[in-house]
């Protein structure tokens, strides 16, 4: 009886605000996530819930039944041979197969259930990998015409280092106050190459690298699709939001707004 009362109290508490799942990474025997994501979800009006790394379909299904929205976070490179049929090149970085499998299962299941998704950095790339697209494995070695510094380290992530153009009228533009340009932080060497069916490019850097994608229609028939919001950005709005700037907070507010409809 006590367990039932506690569960009921927790459910009532969570019901006050949308619960936003945040994908974790596994390192040194721990499942964890950067507090920048957690704090940004809170600032956006949601209740953050960190989702542990697992490839157990049943557990993922139970977890997804407890959340209303999902943030897919940044991290390592994807295995190109497994996920889009390309041999790995020398510029490929660290690959973590367990996380690849977890991320793909998690986002596919969330989209199938109609849970709105915000993908950030690797999370944007995941939207291509999981639904039939592909990536540039290493921008510097594969795209000789790319001149923008996409990996801004050691400059702090709270400071924007390159510009992006945003398609007028797109969801991304509307969420950011009908803006058609922004200055963003940048910590990546991979990027979307082939955009899958159901998504479209809505933001690019000055050298043509894809910096934002969003839903344009139904995903390819082999993927179950609940029709909810799908939005991905290549930069890190959570770092800037966590630092106290309101510039990209609307991305998290929009996710929470869409999650509240569930």
Query: Of the residues 150, 162, 189, 236, which is catalytic?
Result: 236
pTM of this structure: 0.93
**What SS3 class is residue 141?**
helix
User: At which residue do the structure tokens 């949601």 appear?
Assistant: 46
Query: Cis link prior to 154 (omega < 30° from 0)?
Result: yes
Active site residue 258: no
Question: Alpha-carbon distance 22 to 40, whole Å?
Answer: 11
Q: Of the residues 121, 162, 211, 258, which is catalytic?
A: 121
Residue pLDDT tens, the chain, 262 long? 444 444 455 555 555 899 999 999 998 889 999 999 999 999 999 999 999 999 999 999 999 999 999 999 999 999 999 999 999 999 999 999 999 999 999 999 999 999 999 999 999 999 999 999 999 999 999 999 999 999 999 999 999 999 999 999 999 999 999 999 999 999 999 999 999 999 999 999 999 999 999 999 999 999 999 999 999 999 999 999 999 999 999 999 999 999 999 7
**Domains within the chain, CATH numbers bracketed:** 2-260 (3.40.50.880)
> Is 12 labeled as catalytic in the residue annotation?
no
Give the C-alpha separation, 45 to 116, whole Å.
15
Active site residue 162: no
Judge contact between 30 and 80, C-beta under 8 A. Answer: no
- Max distance between CA atoms of the chain, in angstroms, equals 66
């Amino acid at each position: 009886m006590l367990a039932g009362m506690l569960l009921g109290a927790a459910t009532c508490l969570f019901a006050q605000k949308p619960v936003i799942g945040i994908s974790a990474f596994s390192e040194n025997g721990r499942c964890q996530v950067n507090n920048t994501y957690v704090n940004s979800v809170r600032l956006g009006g949601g209740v953050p819930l960190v989702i542990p790394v697992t490839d157990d379909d049943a557990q993922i299904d139970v977890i997804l039944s407890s959340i209303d929205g999902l943030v897919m976070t940044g991290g390592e490179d994807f295995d190109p041979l497994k996920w889009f049929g390309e041999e790995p090149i020398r510029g490929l970085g660290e690959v973590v197969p367990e996380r690849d499998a977890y991320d793909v299962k998690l986002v596919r299941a969330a989209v199938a259930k109609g849970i709105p998704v915000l993908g950030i950095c690797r999370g944007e790339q995941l939207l291509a990998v999981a639904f039939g697209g592909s990536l540039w494995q290493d921008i510097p070695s594969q795209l000789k015409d790319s001149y923008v510094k996409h990996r801004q380290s050691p400059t702090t992530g709270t400071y924007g280092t390159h510009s992006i153009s945003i398609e007028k009228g797109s969801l991304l533009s509307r969420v950011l106050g009908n803006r058609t340009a922004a200055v963003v932080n940048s910590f990546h060497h991979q990027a979307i190459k082939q955009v899958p069916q159901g998504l479209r490019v809505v933001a690019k850097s000055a050298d043509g690298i894809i910096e934002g994608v969003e839903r344009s229609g139904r995903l390819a028939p082999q993927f179950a699709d609940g029709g909810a919001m799908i939005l991905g950005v290549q930069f890190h709005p959570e770092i800037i939001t966590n630092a106290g700037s309101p510039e990209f907070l609307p991305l998290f507010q929009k996710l929470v707004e869409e999650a509240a409809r569930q």
